Amino acid sequence: MQTPLSKKDRMKIPRQPMPEQDPDVRNKNFLEVNLGYTEELAVLEAQRCLQCPKPFCVDGCPVGVQIKDFISLVAEGKIAEAAAKIKEDNVLPAVCGRVCPQEEQCEIKCVVGNKNEPVAIGRLERFVADYEREKLGMRLPVCKPKTGKKVAIVGSGPAGLSCAADCIQAGHGVTVFEALHEIGGVLLYGIPEFRLPKDIVKVEVQALEELGVEFRTNAVIGFTDSIDELLTVEGYDAVFIAVGAGLPYFMNIPGENLNGVYSANEFLTRVNLMKAYDFPNHDTPVFDCKGKSVAIFGGGNTAMDAVRTSKRLGAKNAYIVYRRSEIEMPARAEEVHHAKQEGIEFQLLTNPIEFVGTEEGWLTGVKLLKMELGEPDASGRRKPIPIKDSEFILPIDMAVIAIGNGSNPIIQKTTPGLEFNKWGNIVVNSETMLTSREGVFAGGDIVTGGATVILAMGAGRKAAKAINEYLFNKE
Amino acid sequence: MNKIIESKFLAKDVKRFVIEAPKIAAKRKPGQFVIVRSNSKGERIPLTIADSDLEKGTITIIVQGIGKSTKEINSFNSGDFFHDVVGPLGQPSHLENFGTAVSIGGGVGAAIAYPTAVGLKQAGNHTISIVGARTKDLVILEEEMRANVDEVYITTDDGSYGFHGFVTQQLQKLIDDGRKIDFVLAIGPIPMMRAIAETTRPYNIKTVVSLNPIMVDGTGMCGGCRATVDNKTVFVCVDGPEFDAHKVDFDLLIKRNKTYTQSEKTAVEHFHQCHYDKVFDLAISENKS
Ligand SMILES: Cc1cc2nc3c(=O)[nH]c(=O)nc-3n(C[C@H](O)[C@H](O)[C@H](O)COP(=O)(O)OP(=O)(O)OC[C@H]3O[C@@H](n4cnc5c(N)ncnc54)[C@H](O)[C@@H]3O)c2cc1C
Ligand SMILES: Cc1cc2nc3c(=O)[nH]c(=O)nc-3n(C[C@H](O)[C@H](O)[C@H](O)COP(=O)(O)OP(=O)(O)OC[C@H]3O[C@@H](n4cnc5c(N)ncnc54)[C@H](O)[C@@H]3O)c2cc1C
Ligand code: SF4
Ligand code: SF4
Ligand code: FES
């Protein structure tokens, strides 16, 4: 069905835009912003790929998705085959196609980008995964015969889920322990519905259940069972720790405990996991943003998610307050662009020094200081320096602190002999993800610090490979 | 899902539940708590583990119905299920032989103080318990306390039972009588805990309180439960819930617990109050029969 196009013709096709909800409509609802390619758009976009003999794009993908091959299949209209091709390397394509920072991974390496805009690899990946899920139905992989060995996975984020997928296929019994009452980690409680619909995560989890993975929610490892008890009393042969980076940083400035000051984790958990946007149909409340002024402190994906969420909850003025300039923002370009479209105001090169509030303890504003950029610092980014006498007060009713997460100390405190670095991250062998304890592996944000979904997923798969080898050799 | 094996009102709006939770029963130590959700849309509600039975694989919780979620919980009966129960959470109480240890429970705080009082006894202390309530009908766990600690004092605000006055006055009386007190644990409404802290401060008696901020996850992930102790921010769910009473900023805790006052009203209006009252009356008559 495909007419072979010349390279020149291919180069003439413009990058196909992502259909999306109108900014003025979507900033009042929690439905997904991006609507996804139609099959026509996807095939057209796939034809932009030059099928390079040396596909540099693949080098940019942390898990080496065979981009050239799957795109070629899309161009031929063979979507089911394309899906299978992607899944050889990426078990969560519907998620990664949505939230990967493609513009700085696979797409930045795409040669089409040297002259024109790069091939929209992420959008195609998303299209293929959605098409498979919605039109073809998820096909379950075949599991190897049972080995009789059991693997315990602690944490149900992308690292834990991908490790579970590979271990169950290798024939082991797999149990995933999750502290919260639902499965999915940050995919569920952190990243909002309008960027990653929760049904997508649920379908992935169901598929794992059908393969035989057992999910135990409400199990805080360290409290409910320790890692050692999993290995001894509970009889697991190996453990994979994938507990993420779950400790919110605060700024340690005066007034931070006023009512209305949230960590991003709390704000997003209330809205996403506890569904506070549907209060009082769901019981959990969150700050009533309607008609209020709110400020989110930080410049990453988390900050963008929080500010766009507050807008959807009805905030009149929703600010991003960031101490560097826009170029230094770690958030994905797409998220910043979407935020601006939705009416988010950016207070760049400003740094908070104090929260101010009423006698009764309610936040009324934040004292900000203007900054200018100096010499590059250790991270290579230009260091913000305060400008003298530039203080001013921004009146706000709610503040969300989104300056990053450290590692939650529960596992560290309850697992003797497990080696951690000074930031509280678990030390592992980078090839096998093996920790300092025999049979105990770790991966994802608890090893790297806050990173990305695709890296966590890659770590989960690496660990699964090593666990399978370890269990094969074990007695 | 955790099944309710037994349920019984101890006083108006205060109900005791024995629920199936074998893992938690095996693990829990005095001072620890669980977080429960009553239904799939429910809030995560922290509740102290009042007791446990290792053999039966059950834990006991005692719930005061004050808002939407706790009232809904108190409409549950044996045979019903909690949607989620997670725990045991928090640091266990620090138990050692201090000498003479007084545990003070105001209102439903008596339920929270009970397991630690028992633990203090087992640690070898001479144990005194002060159970306070507004009025006679609201006194809970008197029998259990009498069975497990050395001396029990009851106080009621209206004088309908026991000592007429507040728990602080009873404590002051013991101090004035020349009793040597080495340790005080106080659990109850925040103003009560603050008053106890002020009572013991001049005598330098080691005093511990159990804080009850609003929580979400209970694992140190959200920071919503933060309080100020010794001028430092703590996360009560993982660093506590028990802290040195002389170092807690009670003012802040009171203010922070008012964060959702407005929403709570909405929630209660949304909840079928009539339904609950009917269930309560029914249960009272059952208990009596
Ligand atoms: C708001 C937000 C937006 C983000 N946006 C993006 C994005 O657009 N693109 C991107 O690539 N990345 C994004 N990230 C980062 C990405 O989500 C994480 O890097 C990734 O989820 C890490 O995966 P993980 O499996 O290591 O841990 P997590 O996803 O954090 O999962 C860990 C799980 O372990 C559970 N757990 C913790 N302790 C215990 C315990 N003791 N016992 C049992 N269970 C436990 C937790 O409850 C959690 O469910 C974002 C992060 C946040 C917070
Ligand atoms: C570690 C811990 C242990 C606890 N143990 C018990 C227990 O054993 N038995 C028991 O009955 N209660 C206990 N509580 C208190 C219980 O969790 C709250 O009463 C409950 O969350 C209120 O929920 P609600 O929706 O019914 O009321 P809401 O409608 O949320 O609140 C009603 C009123 O209570 C106040 N309030 C809100 N949250 C709390 C809170 N966490 N603590 C105290 N007051 C609050 C509000 O300011 C409001 O005035 C404990 C709390 C903590 C943190
Ligand atoms: S997984 Fe992410 S980086 Fe890899 S190809 Fe897909 S979108 Fe690109
Ligand atoms: S680099 Fe770009 S053009 Fe080349 S194969 Fe990869 S996606 Fe196609
Ligand atoms: S309840 Fe979330 S950190 Fe304590």
Q: What is the CATH number of the domain that holds B204?
A: 3.40.50.80
| Residue B272 within a domain | no
Residues of chain B under the 50 pLDDT cut:
274, 278-289
Question: Beta-strand (E) ranges in B80-221?
Answer: 81-82, 84-89, 100-106, 126-133, 151-156, 163-164, 183-187, 206-210
Give A228 to chain B, closest Cα distance, Å: 14
| Residue B138 within a domain | yes
Shared-domain flag, residues B84 and B107: no
Shared-domain flag, residues B11 and B85: yes
Q: Is A216 in a helix, a strand, or coil?
A: strand
Contact residues, chain B, for A408 at CB < 8 Å: 219-221
Domain count for chain B: 2
| Residue B286 within a domain | no
- Token pair listed for B43: 């809030």
B47 lines ligand 2 (CB under 6 A): yes
Task: Give me ligand 2 centre to Cα B24, in Å.
Answer: 21
Tell me, yes or no, if A184 comes closer than 8 A to chain B by beta carbon.
no
d(C-alpha A260, C-alpha A278), whole Å? 19
Nearest to B129 by CA among B112, B111, B146: B146
d(C-alpha A344, C-alpha A295), whole Å? 10
User: Does residue A330 have a cis bond before it (omega within 30 degrees)?
Assistant: no
Shared-domain flag, residues B52 and B175: no
Q: Please report which ligand is nearest the Cα atom of B32.
A: 2
Last residue of a domain, one of B46, B65, B89: B89
Sequence letter at residue B117: A
| Residue B126 within a domain | yes
Last residue of a domain, one of B89, B117, B146: B89
Nearest to A244 by CA among A209, A269, A225: A269
d(C-alpha A151, C-alpha A169), whole Å? 12
Disruptive mutation site among A178, A181, A198, A408 for chain B (greatest number of B CBs within 10 Å):
A181
Beta bridge partners of A221: A225
**Mean of the per-residue pLDDT values for chain A?**
93
Segment A445-457 shows an average pLDDT of 94
Tell me, yes or no, if B24 comes closer than 8 A to chain A by beta carbon.
yes
| Residue B169 within a domain | yes
pLDDT digits (tens, 9 = 90+) for B55-96: 999 999 999 998 889 999 999 999 999 999 999 999 999 999
Strands B242-244 and B206-210: antiparallel
Nearest to A150 by CA among A174, A184, A179: A174
Residue B130: give the domain boundaries.
100-257
To the nearest whole percent, how much of chain B has pLDDT over 90? 78
The end-to-end CA distance of chain A, in Å, is 54
- The atom of ligand 5 lying closest to the CA of B215 is 1
Give A248 to chain B, closest Cα distance, Å: 6
| Residue B199 within a domain | yes
Segments in A385-437 forming alpha helices (H) = 410-414
| Residue B274 within a domain | no
Residue B98's pLDDT is 95
Shared-domain flag, residues B16 and B60: yes
Residue identified by tokens 């029990």 is: B152
Shared-domain flag, residues B209 and B183: yes
Shared-domain flag, residues B235 and B116: yes
Shared-domain flag, residues B104 and B247: yes
Residue A140 has pLDDT above 60, yes or no: yes
| Residue B266 within a domain | no
Atom 1 of ligand 1, residue of closest alpha carbon: A302
Task: Give me ligand 3 centre to Cα A158, in Å.
Answer: 14
Shared-domain flag, residues B225 and B252: yes
The end-to-end CA distance of chain B, in Å, is 30
Distance of CA B215 to the CA centre of its chain: 15
Contact B73, B155 (CB under 8 A): no
Predicted ipTM? 0.90
User: Does residue A254 have a cis bond before it (omega within 30 degrees)?
Assistant: no
Segment A118-128 shows an average pLDDT of 96
Shared-domain flag, residues B213 and B165: yes
Sequence letter at residue B202: P
Residue identified by tokens 């101890």 is: B10
Give B232 to chain A, closest Cα distance, Å: 10
Kindly report the CA angle at A249 between A363 and A375, in degrees rounded to 5?
Answer: 100
pLDDT digits (tens, 9 = 90+) for A252-310: 999 999 999 999 999 999 999 999 988 888 899 898 889 999 999 999 999 999 999 99
Of B84, B217, B220, the CB nearest to A269: B217
CA distances for B3 relative to A71, A100, B27, B38, B272, angstroms: 52, 42, 18, 11, 23
Last residue of a domain, one of B64, B89, B114: B89
Residue A139's pLDDT is 78
Q: How confident is the model at residue A232 (pLDDT cuts 50, 70, 90)?
A: very high
CATH classification of the domain holding B44: 2.40.30.10
Shared-domain flag, residues B108 and B233: yes
pLDDT digits (tens, 9 = 90+) for A350-371: 999 999 999 999 999 999 999 9
d(C-alpha A340, C-alpha B42), whole Å? 34
Answer whether B217 sits within 8 Å of A179, measured CB to CB: yes
Shared-domain flag, residues B85 and B105: no
What is Dmax (Cα atoms) for chain A? 73
Exposure string for A61-85, b = 16+ CB within 10 A, e = fewer:
bbbebbbbbbbbbbbeebbebbbbb
CA distances for B129 relative to A286, B121, B124, B186, angstroms: 39, 11, 15, 10
Shared-domain flag, residues B217 and B125: yes
Least confident of A52-56, A105-109, B165-169, B283-287: B283-287
- Token pair listed for A213: 């993975």
Tell me, yes or no, if A90 comes closer than 8 A to chain B by beta carbon.
no
Answer whether A270 sits within 8 Å of B41, measured CB to CB: no
Domains of chain A: 7-136 (1.10.1060.10), 150-246+407-474 (3.50.50.60), 249-404 (3.50.50.60)
Of A265, A280, A287, the CB nearest to B267: A280
Please state whether A403 falls in left (phi above 0), alpha (psi between -120 and 50) or beta. alpha
pTM exceeding 0.90:
yes
